[in-house]
Amino acid sequence: MNGLKLPFMNAPVLPSEALQRVAAEAVRRSHAAEPPTGRKLPLRVGSRASPLALVQTRNFLTRLTRFCPVLRDMGAFQEYQISTEGDRNLVQRLAEIGGKGLFAKEIHEALAAGRIDFAVHSLKDLETNLPPGLVLACTLKREDARDALILRDRDVKVDPQRPYDCLPEGALIGCASVRRQAQMLHVRPDLRFCLLRGNVQTRLDKLRAGACEATLLALAGLRRLGMEDRVDVVLEPDQMLPASGQGIVGVTVRESDLELRELLSAIEDPEARAVSTAERALLAELDGSCRTPIGGYARIENGVLKLSGMIASEDGTFLLRREIEGAPLEAARLGTELADELRRDTPAHIFDEMRRP
Ligand SMILES: NCc1[nH]cc(CCC(=O)O)c1CC(=O)O
Q: Nearest C-alpha to atom 11 of ligand 1 is from which residue?
A: 247
pLDDT in tens, 157-201: 899 999 999 999 999 999 989 999 999 999 999 999 999 878 888
Contacts of 62 (CB under 8 A, 6+ apart): none
* Distance of alpha carbon 152 from alpha carbon 209, whole angstroms: 9
Give residue ranges with CB within 6 A of ligand 1: 122, 124-125, 200, 217-218, 220-221, 246-247
Ligand 1 pocket, mutate which of 52, 100, 275 (most atoms under 8 A from CB): 52
pLDDT for the residue numbered 82: 93
pLDDT in tens, 50-78: 999 999 999 999 999 888 877 776 678 89
Catalytic machinery residues:
125
* Amino acid, single-letter form, for residue 72: R
pLDDT in tens, 233-251: 999 999 999 999 999 999 9
Buried (b) or exposed (e) across 282-301, using 16+ Cβ within 10 A?
Answer: bbbbbbbbbbbbbbbbbbbe
Alpha-helical segments (H) within the chain = 15-31, 51-67, 69-73, 85-88, 94-97, 105-112, 178-187, 200-208, 219-224, 258-265, 270-286, 331-344, 348-355
Nearest residue to 7 via CA among 347, 274, 201: 274
CA of 184 to the centre of ligand 1 (A): 18
Taking a C-beta distance cutoff of 8 angstroms, is the pair 274, 332 a contact? no
Ligand 1 atom nearest to CA at 143: 11
ipTM value, please give it.
Answer: 0.97
Ligand 1 pocket, mutate which of 55, 122, 201 (most atoms under 8 A from CB): 122
Domains and CATH numbers, the chain: 40-140+248-268 (3.40.190.10), 147-235 (3.40.190.10), 270-356 (3.30.160.40)
pLDDT for the residue numbered 288: 46
pLDDT in tens, 69-117: 777 766 788 999 998 776 665 555 555 544 556 779 999 999 999 999 9
Average pLDDT of 317-346?
A: 97
Q: Nearest C-alpha to atom 7 of ligand 1 is from which residue?
A: 221
* Distance of alpha carbon 263 from alpha carbon 161, whole angstroms: 44
pLDDT in tens, 272-318: 999 999 999 999 999 744 578 999 999 999 999 999 999 999 999 99
CA of 221 to the centre of ligand 1 (A): 6
pLDDT for the residue numbered 13: 40
Residue 100 DSSP code: G
pLDDT for the residue numbered 8: 37
Taking a C-beta distance cutoff of 8 angstroms, is the pair 119, 46 a contact? yes
CA of 331 to the centre of ligand 1 (A): 23
Ligand 1 atom nearest to CA at 94: 1
pLDDT for the residue numbered 5: 37
